[in-house]
Amino acid sequence: MKKDKAIVVFSGGQDSTTCLFWAMKQFEEVIAVTFDYNQRHKMEIECAKNITKELGIKHHILDMSLLNQLAPNALTRDNIPVKAGEEGELPSTFVPGRNLLFLSFAGVLANQVGAKHIVTGVCETDFSGYPDCRDIFIKSLNVTLNLSMDYQFVIHTPLMWLNKAETWKLADELGAFDFVREKTLTCYNGIIADGCGECPACKLRRKGLEDYLKIRKEL
């Protein structure tokens, strides 16, 4: 795969930055694509820009503001609070079909630039009710994209079966532990690195990091 070109769906967060490093190891040329859908925090776009610039990676930002017209939710509307979902209920950060749309647009871009590999940080392990993060959905979409453009895409999901601690381990193995820890944005309140420490995204990230640091000490 070394000679091939890959598109990485990139948000500037922990998961997609780990995927970016993973792709840089696997492929000759890596292009990052970030979707601008009027995220609550413009910091997310800035963070993605800074990371790709520092790594010398070509970066496309695609305007997906129409998403906000379709599905107002806590990530795009300031007046909807971020909260974890109750039992059996989706979290307020849910945008129905978001990965379907993002990966389809990534597919069109990949086709345009002659890349057959698409890398995404979706993960079924921490499945919090997002149906288009499931492995079965990704496999189905892969077939659909191939048929739609008569093209042989390969969608890669390096994080699909990893928990948060294992994602930190992968970053470490890729020599990117400090980079991911210090330069990525996961926090819903728009604070880079360790974040605000209070929001659900920060809590999840910190828990994974602590679990991994325990394992690392034991090694």
Tell me which residues touch Zn ion (CB under 5 A): 187, 189, 195-196, 199, 202
Closest CB 143 distance from Zn ion, rounded Å:
37
Report CA-CA distances (Å) from 134 to 36, 61, 138.
23, 25, 7
Q: Do residues 205 and 186 lie in contact, with contact meaning Cβ atoms separated by under 8 Å? A: yes
Nearer CB in complex with Zn ion: 76/142: 76
Annotated binding site for ATP: 10-20
Closest CB 202 distance from Zn ion, rounded Å:
3
Nearer CB in complex with Zn ion: 30/199: 199
Nearer CB in complex with Zn ion: 155/185: 185
Closest CB 135 distance from Zn ion, rounded Å:
28
Closest CB 207 distance from Zn ion, rounded Å:
13
CA–CA separation, 95 vs 73, rounded Å? 7
CA–CA separation, 106 vs 162, rounded Å? 23
Annotated binding site for Zn(2+): 187, 196, 199, 202
Instruction: Please report, as a single letter, which amino acid is at residue 43.
Output: M
Closest CB 189 distance from Zn ion, rounded Å:
5
Annotated binding site: 10-20, 187, 196, 199, 202
Cβ count within 10 A of residue 217: 7
Nearer CB in complex with Zn ion: 19/202: 202
Burial label for 69, CB within 10 Å (0-12, 13-18, 19+), is exposed
Nearer CB in complex with Zn ion: 74/103: 74
- Cα dihedral 137→174→49→56 (10° resolution): -120
